[in-house]
Structure formats: structure tokens, C-alpha cells
Amino acid sequence: MGVAHRISGERGRKVSPAFAVAKGGEKMKPQSHDDVSRIFDAFCKKVLRNEVRDYLDEMNRKNNREIPFSALPVEAMEQFSSYDRYFTEERTFRILGCTVYVDDADLAEAIAALPKDKQDIILLFYFLEMSDYEIAKRLNILRRSVTYRRNSTLKLLKELIGGNADEQ
């Protein structure tokens, strides 16, 4: 009889026969209301501890992946911003079916003040980056006159813009 009751528990510990049925770690059937209270207590505490760990893990994950706006490099910040372009009507020029937008206000004003044929040459050469030869073909004039008009228009522009600068 003695041999039959010597059941060893976890880690080779000898367990007395009375407790041999319910080893530790098994789902225990609550015997009394007092047991329920203890199981409930352990359950609540475990829930809370696990939730704290979840929360801290989450915070760590966020910290590793998130960068505050204040720490962003300027280049990255610029991607999020957009600038409204006002008065675009005054600064856009239509030429041979293309729309040319001039960023600088003074320059746009000066170009707008030019006579139409000179304006075209400046826009085609400097903004659409066409060669004198291409411009001459498009406008049905000699290449030589394109070059001449371009140079003279540049001088005119310089005067116009210089005049503005002096006024300011």
C-alpha cells in the first residue's frame, strides 16, 4: 500500500497522497466560495499585469516608429506644406499653346510690359528653353532677327527691372 501512494509531484518532490489528485498548475475546480474569491483575485491581478505589459510594449513600439513633428528635418516638413499661389493670372503667359508661369513678381511685371513679339521670344528662349533656330522656325522669322531681338529685349528688360529696383 505504501508504495502505491508514493506519487512524486513536480521536480521530484514527494507529494502526500491527499494532494496527489490536484497537482499545481492544473485548472482547479473551485471547491468553495472562498476558492472562487481567490481565483477571481488572481485572475484580476493577472489581467491588470498583462495589460500593463501590453501598454508598455505598445509605447516602446510607438517610440521606435514615431518621430515628433519638432524633430523632423526641414526637408521632410516641406513635404507636408503647400503654398497657395495668388494672382496667378498676372504672372502666367500663354505662348504657342503652353502656359508659362513666372515666379518672380518684378520679372513678370517687366515681361508683361514688353510688346507681344519681344515677349514671345523671351518666353520661348528662357522659359521653354528653345534655341534661336527653333524660335525662328515657329515664328516664321529669320534666326538672325531672333538673336537680335532677344538681345535688345534683354537690355530693355534690364532697364525695366532696374527702374523698378531704383524706385523701391
Partner 1 sequence: MNSKQNYSRLLPYSVIQAAAAGEAVAVNVVLEHYKGYIAKLSLVGGKDPDGNTRVYADDELRRRLETKLICKILTFRVE
Q: Does residue 162 interact with partner 1 by CB under 8 A? A: no
Contact 100, 123 (CB under 8 A): yes
Of residues 90, 99, 152, the one with CA closest to residue 121: 152
57 is a site residue for partner 1 (CB under 8 A): no
CA dihedral 27, 31, 37, 40 (to 10 degrees): 20
Nearest C-alpha neighbor of 13 from the set 3, 23, 28, 1: 23
Amino acid code (one letter) for 40:
F
Residues 9, 19, 22, 52: which binds partner 1 (CB under 8 A)? 52
Size of the site for partner 1 (CB under 8 A): 18
- Residue at 14: amino acid letter: K
Looking at 17-25, 46-54, 72-80, 109-117, which segment touches partner 1 (CB under 8 A)? 46-54
Residue 30 binds to partner 1 (criterion: CB under 8 A): yes
Cα 152 to Cα 118: distance, rounded to the nearest angstrom: 9
CB of 30 vs partner 1, minimal distance in Å: 5
Q: Which of 7, 23, 24, 55 binds partner 1 (CB under 8 A)?
A: 55
Using the rule CB under 8 A, is 13 a contact of partner 1? no
Measured in degrees and rounded to the nearest 5, phi and psi for residue 62 equal -60, -45
- Contact pick of 7, 44, 96, 98 for partner 1 (by CB under 8 A): 44
Complex with partner 1: residue 19 or 43, whichever CB lies closer: 43
Residues that bind partner 1 (CB under 8 A): 29-30, 33-34, 36-38, 40-41, 43-45, 47-49, 51-52, 55
